[in-house]
Amino acid sequence: MTGLKDNDWLAHAKPLLRLGGPLIVNYLAVAGMHFADAVMAGRLGADALAAVAVGASVWFIGFSFALGLLMAISPIVARHFGAGRYDLIGRYARQGIYLGFALGLPLIWVGQYAVEPMLTWIGIDPEFRGLTVGYVKAIMFGAPGIFIFLA
């Protein structure tokens, strides 16, 4: 039976952190962005804070979906770079930009037209529903730019 030696975990942790480090930083940055939004909204009152909290959750659904698709672009480009196939790098990077734009445009539509009925349907309190819709409408306009950046 084989098992881990006392020092084996360090040998596995270093490459794992090297691979997972950028993902950890990314998720901490997203959490930091939501934290900053909450701090700023908290100064405006409880209703604004609740609106930003709900709105950030709505935004994160679309963001996570797009992030999952766009995260494939970097390894593909890196693989072609490592293999010396430089002619394919531009092609895949360009497709990533197109994909980011194509994923962002529907989110603008969702933010403008579908969020308010959805919030009503799930029973969000009408007192801050309007603030939530306003926050989501504003943040969704940044979706294409953020997704192109992530590509």
Q: Judge residue 52's burial from the number of C-beta atoms within 10 Å of its C-beta, 0-12 exposed, 13-18 middle, 19 or more buried.
A: buried
Does any domain span residue 1?
A: no
pLDDT (mean) for 123-138: 89
Report the Cα 116 to chain-centroid distance in Å: 21
pTM for this predicted structure: 0.71
* 137, 111 contact by CB (below 8 A): yes
Domain encompassing residue 103? 24-150
Residue 108 and residue 124: Cα distance in Å, rounded?
Answer: 21
Provide the number of structural domains found in the chain: 1
Tell whether 145 is covered by a domain: yes
* Residue 18, in any domain of the structure: no
**CA gap 15, 99 in Å, rounded:** 30
pLDDT at 5: 60
Q: What is the pLDDT of residues 36-86, one digit of tens each?
A: 888 888 898 888 888 888 888 888 888 889 988 998 898 899 899 999 999
